[in-house]
Structure 1
């Protein structure tokens, strides 16, 4: 390949980058329990199904959505709204469809904006020349819409967290459990809609909660560890997500890292020495334990065997300012867990990061460059992301290689 601009100072660096050989390491040894779909899409599906079963809520949200669409179509009335309250209902092009629409609806239900929007809609109806240009009718009350948006805000927060550029795979279980518990405590006049949301969470995500890889990656996040799991598992309730107990999680993780887990070599050497000394002295020493007069003596202290998992869990969780990547990069004291963490924590929770690459890929692979091999296209995208990282901008990479 040659740069499109002759004399480009980055031409040699880019060509060297593209000429690099593909890594030969095979990651096929990573075994995942079940293929997991995009968590963000599944959360949106939960909302859609709950709306279908709650026509009242669907009708109220449809009215608000029609108002947002009207101001999006009408540049004039949107400009008037912007001058009156300094706020626009036009969705931001930087965010996705779900986020932009939800943000616009949340702006509309602000107390200062709601009344002005209703006034402008009345004026627009008077000035409308025909029915096609007339704004939609709104019978919904602001309090009703605020109540419904309050039930959807936890979903928006979970989607934003799981679509972020940071480590997100370990946040699936905490996000789902936290979302379910938040819905349980939220006061609402639309309990049927709330129950539909929680029922959808149970239907779509309950089979994912007990999966080995999700549990393992949750525990290997030093900010989380065993915190999302209760001491005892609650079963029998089909309206709420049921997570394994801490004992079950610990047993599962121990079984998963059995082949990688090893005793501390220093402790093992100390035990071997103590065992050798004890065996050599038993033949010439008096067995004091058999004499009742020595019953007050404490037994000899035994060296506890601490596995890597025990040592890891005994340490306090990291605060929010510490980086997960930095922790596991420097965690040479946990070699087996470090290897597992580097592989599992690199898995994204959603496909949002990949979706953001599609527009750039379409700019690279055009009609006149349709014969570019997939390897070259991939390397060009990676090169662009590496340049963004050098410039100090946000990168889609989660920091693991």
Structure 2
């Protein structure tokens, strides 16, 4: 985040949250820069480059896959890009899936005549390291893909995800891994602690903790100790009281209800006003109702992590009217800047040196349609939650060129971000 934006947020009393995707990118990059991993990635890139630049090798690879399994769809090798760490994960994972077919093609002298090309094949110890590296990086890939979304709640995932990743990395030391793989896990753990210093002692009043408390999937706050979890729940109560006070202050004063009737007026000789209708209910009763609402919410079991918290709140809004207002306010905050930077990438693909004659109005309209519409011919996949764009792995497989750089995930980001 730029200093100007940070200063403006501080002056207005706004809480600034880190981009978790940004910090995960830099943390994982440090682990991938270890010598043993860097050498493996370099070998993998050369192997992928051979099949990317040789039509004969690529055709033989497809034919060999059909011979091995005629029913399966042939796969292509994936080239990684520097600005996305998970593209390296996809590259290694795809090579492991194609190991048998790759070996057969490179060992066939009628297809691969040069000895230098046959030497591109990974050694047994490198294949073993690749398998263990994919195993270690798998939870990080799932976390990166999940937090980069924009159509569901993400801010409440900050502490549950980082705590889980730390727990997984601690457990890797007890597994029968190679020395190189254990060094990668240890590096990932140390970088997570450095990039997320508050993960071991998060503030109960911070926005990510409040979002987790209002998220029915994590409302038990298992990533906090009992004292901090209790403090976080008390903070939710105070926020609910503040919200109720603001709502009451914004309501116009209610007028006296006066019952007038021609007959009664002649009988009593005057109009008969009723007692003043109070503008607010008894303060103690309101406090008890709010406390009961909060206690009832936190005593219920956590929702399954795959369920939608927004859908849960839609169905239970009538049961928790006060908390639903807070949930609507806090759960709408995104945890990463990735969605906004995708728009910059879309603009970079649209306006190039060879295509720069569009007017600003046409550029704005094209970007708007690209982001907000399901266009005819666009590559989309059907999921249980609707239409989503293809994943990075599928885009890398379909496109020969590297995807454009995302500013927040670039390799030029400083370690202090």
Of residues 29, 36, 53, the one that matches 1:48 is: 29
Measure how far apart 1:353 and its partner are.
2.9
Partner residue of 2:209 out of 211, 215, 218: 215
Partner of 1:260: 243
Question: CA separation in 2, counterparts of 1:74 and 1:248?
Answer: 62
Count of aligned pairs: 319
CA distance in 2, matches of 1:312, 1:30: 32
The CA deviation string for residues 36-86 of structure 1, in whole angstroms up to 9 with x for no partner, is: 23x22321211111233x322332233233322322332321221222124
Tell me the CA shift for residue 364 of structure 1: 7.1
Q: Structure 2: how far apart are the matches of 1:256 and 1:271?
A: 17
- Report the counterpart of residue 404 of structure 2 in structure 1: none
Q: Is the 8 A contact 1:218 1:224 kept in 2?
A: yes
For the 8 Å contact 2:136–2:185, the answer to whether it is kept is yes
- State the TM-score, normalizing by the size of structure 1: 0.64
1:149 corresponds in structure 2 to 134
Q: Pick the aligned partner of 2:193 from 202, 214, 218.
A: 202
1:370 aligns with 2:347: no
Give ranges in structure 2 of 5+ residues lacking alignment: 1-8, 67-73, 246-280, 390-417
Structure 2 partner of 1:9? none
Q: How does 1:56-135 map to 2 (within 5 A)?
A: 56-86=36-66, 87-91=74-78, 97-110=84-97, 113-123=98-108, 127-128=112-113
User: Do the aligned partners of 1:222 and 1:318 also contact (CA within 8 Å) in 2?
Assistant: yes
Q: Distance in 2 between matches of 1:29 and 1:221?
A: 29
Superposition TM-score, scaled by structure 2 size: 0.62
Any idea what SS the aligned residue of 2:332 has? coil
User: Does the 8 A contact of 2:31 with 2:184 survive in 1?
Assistant: yes
Structure 1 residues 395 and 147, CA gap change in structure 2 (3 angstroms): closer
Q: Which has the higher contact order (CA 8 A, sep 6+)?
A: 2
Between the aligned partners of 1:255 and 1:48, the Cα distance in structure 2 is 41
Match of residue 34, structure 1, among 16, 20, 35 = 16
**1:178: how far off?**
1.1
Aligned to 2:5: none
- Select 2:340's aligned residue among 322, 340, 354: 354
Distance 1:117 1:175, change over 3 A: same
**Aligned-partner Cα distance in 1 for 2:42–2:298:** 48
- Root-mean-square deviation over aligned CA pairs: 4.2
Q: Give the secondary-structure state (helix, strand or coil) at the position aligned to 1:197.
A: helix
Given that residues 81 and 117 in structure 1 are in contact (C-alpha distance below 8 angstroms), is that contact kept between their aligned partners in structure 2? yes
